[in-house]
Structure 1
C-alpha cells in the first residue's frame, strides 16, 4: 500500500505553503505528492515564486510528483493555464476537469477524485486513454471500488482516505459573498480560514465547510480502520488530503497501521491528538450517510 499527499485545497500563505512541502520532502514517508492550485486560479500567482524550489526538493527526496489541474475551468485564462500545464513533460498531470483530457491526448496522466469515475466502464475508458493512476471519488462504497479496481489491473487505484471530503465546486465564491465582496474583488479573504470556514445549519449544527468556491464536508474522512478491506479490494494507494495540522504525523500514523506497527484503535487515538476536535467519518465507504463513522469493514 502506497500513500499520496493530495494538493493543498486551502489558501495558505505562500511561505507556509512552501515550508509545508519542504517538511513533507524532508520528514515524510509519503510516496507521491500532488501539487498545484486546483481550487481557485486567482491564488496560483502567490505560490508561483516557490514552485520550482518545492518541486526540486520533493524530487530530491525521491517523491513522485504530480501536477494537479483546476477542478473547474470556466474562463479563457484558465483554459490557457490548463493547456500549458498539460504541455509540461517533466511531470505526470493529474486531471481534475474533463476539459484537460483534450490537451493530454496520447500521453500518460493521472485522474483525480473530481472526475466522475463511478463504474468499471468509465475506469477502463480512462485507462485506455493513458490514465496510469485513478484516485476515485470519495463518495464511492467499497463494492464499487472493488469492481473498478478489478477492471484496472494495470493502473494504480487510489482512494481518498483522510481529510475534509470535497463535495462541490462552483463559479460563485462563497467566501466573498459572506463578506459582502464581489468575486473579482474578493481580497483573497479565504486566507483567513486555513482549514476552511465552518457552515452551521439554522439549528446551529456544524454541517459543511466553505473554501472559496469549494464546498467540503465538516467531518474529516478517516479510513484507518478499513485498510484491510481496501487492500483486499485492490486499492494500491491511500490519499491523505492536507489539513491545518501535522500532516507528517498523519502520514506516519497511516504508515504504522498499514505496516502492522499499530492497530486502528491506537492509530485513531494518535490522529485525535494530531487533529483535535475533528469529527471523523467513513460513511461513504460503508454505503451510509457520508458524515457517519462506522466500525471497520470485514474483509471478504
Structure 2
C-alpha cells in the first residue's frame, strides 16, 4: 500500500457497465500504466450475473494496479436480492485482504468495526450520518453526486477526521431496481437477458415522448444522460476539505480524462480550456454540474458567464 499524499488526489470508481473480460482487463492495465489516479475501486456493483465476465481477470488486474503504485479497493453490489448475492458479499468481506467499498447497507453489518469505504450510492446527506458511519469503521466516504456545494461543506466541516471523496466525472448513478429494464427494452426478461446490456457499453439512451434525451439504462441501474463534470469547481472543493475526486469510467479515453483533471487540480491548465478538451474526449454526451449549484442535475452552470441551461438528464 502506498502512502497517501496530503494534497487532494484522483480516484477511479468501478466500471458500472458490462464490458467483456478482455476489454475490462485491458482498461485497468492502461489505467495502471498511464493514469494519474491514486486509488482504484474495482468490482461488480450493478448485476451479479456479470461477475463471470470479469472474475477470471481480477487477480491480474489487482497485481498490475498495485505494481504501478495504486491502492485497490473492492466494491460490493449496490443491491442484494438473492441468496447467492448475499453469499457473494459475505465471501468478499470475509476473504479480501483489500479495503472494501460498501455500496449497500447490507454490507455495513459485516464491516462493522473494520476499516472500509462508503460508495456514492449510499445516502450520506448530513454530518450525523457521516459520523455514525465513521464510528462503525468507515474511513472514507464518497458523497452522493446529487449533493449541492452547501451540503458538502457542512458535512465535511461537521465530520472531522473523515476523508471525503466527490463524484467529479461520469454519468451519475440515480437508481437501481430488482428488475432489468435494459433486458425488457430489448425483448427479454431478466432471467434470460442474454446479456444485452453488453451492446451498450456506455448505457442505453432513453428519450421522452417528445424524443428528448432523458436518462440511460445500464442493466438494472438507471444513470443520468448527462455526464457530471466538476472541473471548474475543483479549487472550491479543495478549500472545503475534499481529499479525493472520483472519476467514474465511461466508454471513452479515461486516461485523457484523468490527465485533464490532474492538470486542473495542479493548476497546469485552466478549467475552461480543460472543459473544451473534455467535450472532445467524450463527445455526444452533454456535461452537467447542476446538482452542485443547487439546480436540476442535468443543468450546466457556466460559472464565467454566470448563466445556465438544461442539458437533459
TM-score (norm 1): 0.97
Runs of 4+ in 1 over 2 A off after TM superposition: none
Q: Give the one of 143, 151, 159 matched to 2:158.
A: 151
| Structure 2 CA distance for aligned equivalents of residues 259 and 215 of structure 1 | 33
Q: Which residue of 1 aligns with 2:272?
A: 265
Q: Which residue of 2 aligns with 1:80?
A: 87
Deviation at 1:89, TM superposition (A): 4.0
Deviation at 1:295, TM superposition (A): 2.8
Pairs within 5 Å for 1:14-25: 14-25=21-32
Q: Which residue of 2 aligns with 1:162?
A: 169
CA contact (8 A) 1:226 1:296 kept: no
CA contact (8 A) 1:59 1:65 kept: yes
The answer to whether residue 37 in structure 2 is matched with residue 30 in structure 1 is yes
The answer to whether residue 193 in structure 2 is matched with residue 193 in structure 1 is no
Q: Which residue of 2 aligns with 1:56?
A: 63
| Structure 2 CA distance for aligned equivalents of residues 117 and 88 of structure 1 | 27
Q: Which residue of 2 aligns with 1:285?
A: 292
Q: Which residue of 2 aligns with 1:5?
A: 12
Q: Which residue of 2 aligns with 1:180?
A: 187
| Structure 2 CA distance for aligned equivalents of residues 296 and 137 of structure 1 | 22
Tell me, what secondary structure is at the counterpart of 1:225? coil
Tell me, what secondary structure is at the counterpart of 1:199? strand
The answer to whether residue 126 in structure 2 is matched with residue 122 in structure 1 is no
Q: Give the one of 192, 211, 214 matched to 2:221.
A: 214
Q: Give the one of 74, 78, 85 matched to 1:67.
A: 74
| Structure 1 CA distance for aligned equivalents of residues 18 and 113 of structure 2 | 33
CA contact (8 A) 1:163 1:243 kept: yes
Q: Give the one of 234, 239, 243 matched to 2:241.
A: 234
**Alpha carbons of structure 1 residues 152 and 88: separation in structure 2 relative to 1, 3 Å:** farther
Deviation at 1:236, TM superposition (A): 1.0
CA contact (8 A) 1:159 1:239 kept: yes
1:194-240: CA deviation from partner (whole Å, max 9, x where unpaired): 00010000000010000000000000000001111111221111110
CA contact (8 A) 1:281 1:290 kept: yes
1:269-290: CA deviation from partner (whole Å, max 9, x where unpaired): 1101111122000000111010
Q: Which residue of 1 aligns with 2:143?
A: 136
Q: Give the one of 87, 106, 111 matched to 1:99.
A: 106
Q: Which residue of 1 aligns with 2:211?
A: 204
The runs of 5 or more residues in structure 1 that have no matched partner are: none
Q: Which residue of 1 aligns with 2:309?
A: none
Deviation at 1:90, TM superposition (A): 1.4
Tell me, what secondary structure is at the counterpart of 1:210? strand
Q: Which residue of 1 aligns with 2:307?
A: none
1:143-191: CA deviation from partner (whole Å, max 9, x where unpaired): 1111111123222101101000110000010111011211001000000
| Structure 1 CA distance for aligned equivalents of residues 129 and 110 of structure 2 | 19
CA contact (8 A) 1:142 1:233 kept: no
| Structure 1 CA distance for aligned equivalents of residues 122 and 59 of structure 2 | 27
Tell me, what secondary structure is at the counterpart of 1:159? strand
TM-score (norm 2): 0.93
1:224-261: CA deviation from partner (whole Å, max 9, x where unpaired): 01111111221111110000000000000000001011
Larger displacement relative to structure 2 (256-265 or 151-160): 151-160
State the number of aligned residues.
297
